[in-house]
Structure 1
């Protein structure tokens, strides 16, 4: 490895140094290594500017890292996997029954939980700006520079600021210097929760990992924002077969409602863009479920879904100028019953940077189809020529039942879903991760944790 690489950091114009061992893929090397080898698997494009010529330097570096890991795997070289953790902030903040602890939880509980178990933090954290927590309309807790367009100090909406604050803290470290709107200490008083103190987990004050966002968006026009309103059976699509087509038709009231929702998403992501934070954005996941099941955007006519994705892309990138985004397309595991083969819903390479799977079919103890765990999805995603990720799983990849998962299927990123990291679900024991499973994963040399991002940058 040669020299160092600097990434744009939290404040515009500020550079954050990170280990070249992780950011080894310069753009010239990435383009060279993306060339196809005769007789081998086709390499993935490794320069984000092929999709977005205005992509930020930080977003390009993050994507080059993922593409480099993917191309290593495709060439049969040793590769590594960034271990990720999804954080359901709305449940952590407001659902006392959520997870392995009964009571009020501070935001980032399951981000910190990985360190409680293993001494290490995840290398990637995915947050969610939806679905809300059963309250009317989009809102925020305390208005910030990026959220003044939305009603503030609203009950059960403070998690929206927590999501942005935690994203800043994962990318740049907590605590850290102030940059204006951001709360640098990670400690704030929530005006909407009777003055309760909210504390984000400190992580060393330096670069601590990669950041992603999902958007469990309630159906456009829903008066209440909550998980129930994300489901197809509770949306107008359940009774009106023409509703979804109107959502993607410019000029309709349903389309205007969609753009209103996307404005909420863009305002929050825009602040992160202004601060130089790249975001892996995973919208409209699990779109390939059977009709009548899953989310309001799922099981729809594939052409209409592709239109939804593309107009969302055009709104965020074209209209709002968000060039810090890396777009992740993640169907549900296509087991032939709940999930169907997803190819028809793929929006196209001009709109997607990373492909993945939400893996809920089978498990490490009983893999789907009797084949090695996750191999069906890994091989099935190869044709898209994009870095491959497990976008959601109840399990860590290296449990006792499948200790060679990442050898057989070297996913570049693997994200454990929320409470599943340590929640003992007695009604579904196949979901359980033991402490030993989590330690085995976080301690493996095949896995990249936050420590790799936080180390000295003097590696050569």
Structure 2
């Protein structure tokens, strides 16, 4: 095959028991039927080399799965730093946790770290304002020394640490040791060490409070608490340039960009997952959910334009993730799809079924896996309460070889009240993390992300 060949995404080389293949960026006339494009430059000609390598790895895994070749799944963990730090009732014991508790928890159980970590720059923790453009401790442009905002600093630093290693040599960045005094509380905060070298890929979600919200917190992300619950024309004004609501939206996006830009300056590629679960029933879910699909598509595209074209972030891989469309809470997502030129990865937040009670015909998660095939993008489980390999469904990744699978926060060890039919046992987590079908952070730690 002609094209430019690379050892992709930590192609995780000979160190793996089942090595990830070497992929090329094929010429357009050499595409197999149904093959996913592997070159991120087709969407963003200025995409950074690191973002291109990560995307090519994900697309290569997807192509292997689509063509019946052995494939693997990157195991991910969502880390809710705001809850870990400030909510004593969160997690598997009462009391405050060190940031990255559920990143480290996977290693506590299995001896291995996640291969992907997703963090959240929103929603805030009930404090006023984003304070865009002011001083922050690691880049001197945002104030972290305020109560209940230090988690944002730690989210950015942990993302850098997953990509480059913690502890790491002094490099002029935030806290190279991973340990620092929290200036707001006076307590000592410690990010989890991961061997001091590359330990995986990172992503961010953005549970964004409604534009113009004076207080930033999870309640302000919900439709029922937004102006849109009382004013049918509010959402349309949010996506209309020149309106007060639109200016408030851009202010929020500047907060997001300030932090993602810090990572861009240090070469860290980011899987960005904004405006998820948009296909929930009208009046439910987040302020952007259940609205006119044309307005939603406009919201996504203007967000893309602001981040990429106006602010120049070319380290981003855009992830579109509807809620599981079970016909009750979640409806078919197709009308909300922003378009191939604005999306790199497609996924699903799956809370409609469990391993013991799958939804629809076929194996657990299969209805969502087949439903996303039409988009010809890498397919992921963006959120789930469950690890993929468990006693009830030990062959999930054989039947549905998702490219990436992310477990939601405390669900890794906590019997979540929203999922009363079961939880992850230690055996389930070990079965997943030690499977030859899974790529963990420990696989990355034994490899070098390089391109030849």
Place the TM-score, normalised by the shorter chain, in its bin.
over 0.9
Q: Does 1:73 align with 2:65?
A: yes
Which residues in structure 2 correspond to 1:252-267 (within 5 Å)?
A: 252-267=243-258
- Which of 132, 136, 140 is equivalent to 1:143? 136
Which secondary structure does the structure 2 equivalent of 1:281 belong to?
strand
Shift of 1:116: 0.4
CA contact (8 A) 2:385 2:412 kept: yes
**Comparing 132-141 with 105-114, which one deviates more in the overlay?**
132-141
CA contact (8 A) 2:8 2:22 kept: no
CA distance in 1, matches of 2:424, 2:230: 40
Which residues in structure 2 correspond to 1:292-303 (within 5 Å)?
A: 292-303=283-294
Shift of 1:136: 1.0
Q: Kindly tell me: are residues 53 and 264 of structure 1, through their superposed partners in 2, closer, same or farther at Cα, counting changes over 3 Å?
A: same
Q: Does 1:392 align with 2:383?
A: yes
- Which of 115, 132, 154 is equivalent to 2:107? 115
CA distance in 2, matches of 1:59, 1:428: 35
Q: Kindly tell me: are residues 301 and 323 of structure 1, through their superposed partners in 2, closer, same or farther at Cα, counting changes over 3 Å?
A: same
In the alignment, what sits opposite 1:450?
Answer: 441
Q: Does 1:156 align with 2:129?
A: no
Shift of 1:436: 0.6
CA distance in 2, matches of 1:319, 1:458: 29
- Which of 282, 286, 289 is equivalent to 1:291? 282
Which secondary structure does the structure 2 equivalent of 1:213 belong to?
strand
In the alignment, what sits opposite 2:53?
Answer: 61
In the alignment, what sits opposite 2:26?
Answer: 31
Q: Kindly tell me: are residues 367 and 325 of structure 1, through their superposed partners in 2, closer, same or farther at Cα, counting changes over 3 Å?
A: same
Shift of 1:151: 3.9
Which residues in structure 2 correspond to 1:56-205 (within 5 Å)?
A: 56-139=48-131, 143-144=136-137, 146=139, 148=141, 150-193=142-185, 195-205=186-196
**1:401-455 deviations in Å (ceiling 9; x for gaps):** 0000000000000000000000024674325111110000001000000111110
Q: Kindly tell me: are residues 212 and 68 of structure 1, through their superposed partners in 2, closer, same or farther at Cα, counting changes over 3 Å?
A: same
- Which of 435, 439, 451 is equivalent to 2:430? 439
CA distance in 1, matches of 2:110, 2:443: 15
Which secondary structure does the structure 2 equivalent of 1:414 belong to?
strand
Shift of 1:23: 6.9
CA distance in 2, matches of 1:303, 1:324: 27
CA contact (8 A) 2:318 2:344 kept: yes
Shift of 1:154: 1.0
- Which of 361, 364, 372 is equivalent to 2:363? 372
Q: Does 1:221 align with 2:216?
A: no
In the alignment, what sits opposite 1:11?
Answer: none
Which secondary structure does the structure 2 equivalent of 1:369 belong to?
coil
CA distance in 1, matches of 2:404, 2:115: 9
In the alignment, what sits opposite 1:350?
Answer: 341
Shift of 1:34: 9.3
TM-score by length of 2: 0.94
Q: Which runs of 5+ in 2 are unaligned?
A: none
In the alignment, what sits opposite 1:280?
Answer: 271
Q: Kindly tell me: are residues 456 and 391 of structure 1, through their superposed partners in 2, closer, same or farther at Cα, counting changes over 3 Å?
A: closer
Shift of 1:303: 0.5
In the alignment, what sits opposite 1:237?
Answer: 228
Which secondary structure does the structure 1 equivalent of 2:74 belong to?
strand
CA distance in 2, matches of 1:320, 1:431: 44
CA contact (8 A) 1:142 1:161 kept: no
**Comparing 361-370 with 55-64, which one deviates more in the overlay?**
361-370
CA contact (8 A) 1:23 1:61 kept: no
Q: Kindly tell me: are residues 24 and 407 of structure 1, through their superposed partners in 2, closer, same or farther at Cα, counting changes over 3 Å?
A: closer
CA contact (8 A) 1:87 1:125 kept: yes
CA distance in 1, matches of 2:39, 2:6: 19
CA contact (8 A) 2:6 2:22 kept: no
* RMSD of aligned residue pairs (Cα, Å): 2.2
